[in-house]
């Protein structure tokens, strides 16, 4: 007999995709989900009980805590606990709460005062300290671990912990480095090595005698691994969207998995994303797989097999074929499933190099800035196809006024260099001395982003040896009118303060260099915006490219009356449908 369990969908898991079309009619998606325990999570206190004196550990490790005087309040997500300067939650010592070689400690906190050295989360009592989060002496946060008698501490910048606001704080240690993140962004790190202390003291949330915290705490997690920057960023973003309660029926399969299936519709971009988490009989479970199926698709939409999820990070990829498409995220909120545009920044040009043949590089932005390919050859790229440049040619895009923004700019690309020759241009709006902006190889195996104002070139360089040979690297340069920034693989690595207008010349835009400064290597996914993308948008674009489209499942084509006219099968066969003037189906033909 099948065991049917009620599943309460109460919170947030974001579904990230690679590419999705916005030319949508109505598509019904049928997610099939299975999930299990998150093995590296050793404690998770969500404070959702709303009453009583027990804080349940929803990791499944049964590290429940005793609530001593905090009061229940509305939290960042659902409920939380309010600590008044003499209250705490105490979790008895358990060996799983003492990871020695790697750790992540995470929480949402909302301080009511900026008193110094107040402990927020601590595995300690008196001098027997293993790890802790505490308030520093500059209205900031600090993450500390102790090795023997030496405390190693990484601090947030001054005034980075505002009063009366929810702040997401994460501290990690991976065996070689401690890192501190605030609101999804790494703000500091130090190099250390060794094992974290292990004492049989309780884990406390809210402090201890002489160091009690005042304010609210929510969603505390401890892992026996160091979460990645991408995982931390996703966690921060997921928490900023409201939960959507829903109860579904599920069945337990013969191999012990719990499956749920439901239908949702996708129609148009939403105002904000949302997601879901799953609670089974009061215990939150990590989602392990997601399967999306479609009962029909819009003109030219290519549905691809989803990627197997890792823990709670669900990623599924689509490809839009020849249909004008933008990157985005597919989001579940149980009132609808919708598509979110990757960025609202004005896109001036995008050259994806997915043609695979010919001498034209099509501008996928829709602005008609197509380029002529002279010298480069087609090859497999970071996403689909790319161009291989042999230091003897380039892609030339004729001058258009829109390609010379004056006040704000973003230039982005994936590059894979074959050599580290200096001053080789990768993307440049220039000819000789008439330069507007460019990306080029520096003199220290690095990348440089430059814009010119009058006769003065303003250039921001990446650190030495940050542009490895034979590897794909995501590079982005931005200018917002007051500051230039350079990003590598989604992380800002340098910036300089400048102001003024970027030069404007009627020179072509070149990808791959110019005579005397040709690039050798591969280039893919070049985009130019008339705006400075934010750090969050840049990180999102970097992460989206890590999910390659899977093999084609089926492609559906509909006519202007929304009638199915053709199905392209994975084998390459086509099923074609014909209708009479009255709209009746008259024939179905398989074409090899």
> Token pair of 413, please?
């690309």
Q: What is the pLDDT of residues 525-554, one digit of tens each?
A: 999 999 999 998 888 788 777 654 444 445
CATH code that applies to domain 347-532: 2.60.120.200
For residue 292, give the DSSP letter: -
What mean pLDDT do residues 452-460 have? 94
Band the pLDDT of 353: cuts 50, 70, 90: very high
pLDDT at 560: 62
Per DSSP, the three-state class of 237 is: helix
Band the pLDDT of 561: cuts 50, 70, 90: low
Q: Which is more confidently placed, 590 or 401?
A: 401
- Which residues are CB-contacts of 436 (< 8 A; sequence separation ≥ 6)? 404, 429, 430, 451, 452, 502, 503, 504, 505, 507
Q: What is the location of CATH 2.60.120.200 in the chain?
A: 41-224, 347-532
For the chain, the residue count is 592
Give dist(CA 239, CA 273) in Å, integer.
Answer: 11
Residue 481 has pLDDT above 90, yes or no: yes
* Nearest C-alpha neighbor of 258 from the set 283, 238, 222: 283
Band the pLDDT of 277: cuts 50, 70, 90: very low
pLDDT at 346: 81
> Token pair of 434, please?
């008439």
Average predicted confidence (pLDDT) for the chain: 77
Residue 414 has pLDDT above 80, yes or no: yes
Q: What is the pLDDT of residues 32-55, one digit of tens each?
A: 333 333 668 999 999 989 899 999
CB 409 within 8 A of CB 504: no
pLDDT at 236: 85
Band the pLDDT of 558: cuts 50, 70, 90: low
Give dist(CA 40, CA 513) in Å, integer.
Answer: 47
pLDDT at 338: 25
pLDDT at 578: 83
For tokens 């304010």, name the residue. 215
CB 394 within 8 A of CB 376: yes
CB 44 within 8 A of CB 284: yes
For residue 531, give the DSSP letter: S
Range 41-224 classified under CATH 2.60.120.260: no
Tell me how far the alpha carbon of residue 233 is from its chain's centroid: 6
For residue 357, give the DSSP letter: S
Q: What is the pLDDT of residues 369-397, one digit of tens each?
A: 999 999 999 999 998 899 999 999 999 99
CB 68 within 8 A of CB 83: no
CB 426 within 8 A of CB 441: yes
pLDDT at 31: 38
Give dist(CA 238, CA 235) in Å, integer.
Answer: 5
Give dist(CA 559, CA 451) in Å, integer.
Answer: 47
């Amino acid at each position: 007999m099948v065991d049917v369990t009620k599943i309460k969908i109460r919170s947030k898991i974001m579904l990230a995709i690679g590419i999705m079309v916005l030319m949508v009619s109505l598509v019904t998606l049928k997610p099939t989900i299975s999930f299990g325990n998150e093995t590296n999570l050793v404690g998770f206190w969500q404070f959702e009980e709303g009453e009583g004196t027990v804080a349940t550990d929803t990791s499944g490790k049964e590290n429940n805590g005793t609530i001593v005087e905090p009061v229940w309040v509305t939290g960042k997500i659902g409920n939380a606990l309010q600590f008044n300067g003499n209250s705490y939650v105490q979790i008895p010592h358990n060996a799983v709460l003492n990871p020695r070689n790697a750790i992540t400690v995470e929480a949402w906190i909302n301080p009511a005062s900026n008193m110094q050295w107040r402990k927020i989360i601590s595995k300690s009592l008196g001098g027997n300290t293993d790890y802790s989060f505490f308030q520093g002496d500059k209205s900031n946060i600090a993450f500390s671990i102790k090795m023997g008698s030496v405390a190693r501490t990484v601090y947030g910048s001054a005034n980075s912990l505002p009063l009366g606001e929810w702040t997401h704080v994460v501290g990690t240690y991976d065996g070689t480095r401690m890192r501190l993140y605030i609101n999804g962004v790494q703000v500091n790190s130090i190099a250390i090595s060794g094992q974290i202390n292990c004492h049989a003291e309780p884990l406390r949330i809210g402090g201890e005698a002489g160091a009690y915290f005042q304010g609210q705490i929510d969603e505390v997690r401890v892992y026996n691994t160091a979460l990645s920057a991408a995982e931390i960023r996703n966690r921060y973003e997921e928490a900023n969207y409201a939960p959507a309660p829903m109860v579904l029926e599920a069945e337990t399969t013969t191999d012990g998995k719990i499956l749920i299936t439901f239908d949702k519709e996708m129609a148009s971009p939403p105002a904000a994303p949302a997601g879901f988490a799953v609670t089974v009989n009061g215990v939150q479970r990590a989602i392990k797989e997601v399967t999306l199926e479609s009962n029909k698709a819009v003109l030219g939409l290519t549905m691809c097999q989803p990627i197997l999820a890792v823990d709670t990070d669900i990623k599924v990829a689509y490809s839009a074929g020849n249909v004008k498409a933008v990157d985005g995220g597919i989001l579940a909120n149980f009132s609808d499933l919708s598509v979110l545009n990757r960025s609202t920044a004005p896109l001036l040009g995008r050259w994806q190099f997915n043609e695979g043949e010919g001498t034209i590089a099509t501008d996928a932005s829709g602005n008609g800035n197509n380029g002529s390919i002279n010298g480069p050859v087609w090859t497999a790229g970071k996403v689909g196809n790319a161009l291989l440049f042999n230091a003897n040619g380039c892609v030339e895009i004729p001058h258009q006024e829109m390609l010379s923004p004056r006040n704000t700019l973003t230039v982005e690309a994936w590059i894979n260099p074959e050599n580290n020759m200096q001053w080789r241009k990768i993307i440049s709006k220039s000819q000789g001395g008439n330069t507007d902006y460019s990306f080029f190889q520096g003199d220290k195996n690095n990348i440089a982003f430059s814009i010119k104002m009058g006769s003065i070139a303003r250039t921001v360089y990446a650190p030495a040896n940050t542009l490895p040979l034979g590897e794909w690297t995501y590079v982005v340069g931005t200018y917002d009118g007051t500051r230039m920034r350079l990003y590598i693989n989604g992380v800002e690595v340098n910036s300089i303060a400048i102001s003024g207008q970027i030069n404007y010349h009627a020179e072509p835009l070149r990808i791959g260099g110019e005579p005397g400064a040709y690039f050798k290597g591969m280039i893919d996914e070049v985009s130019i915006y008339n705006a400075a993308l934010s750090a969050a948008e840049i990180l999102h674009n970097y992460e989206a490219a890590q999910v390659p489209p899977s093999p084609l499942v089926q492609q559906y084509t509909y006519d202007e009356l929304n009638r199915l006219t053709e199905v392209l099968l994975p084998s390459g066969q086509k099923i074609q449908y014909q209708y009479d003037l009255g709209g009746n189906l008259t024939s179905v033909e398989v074409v090899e």
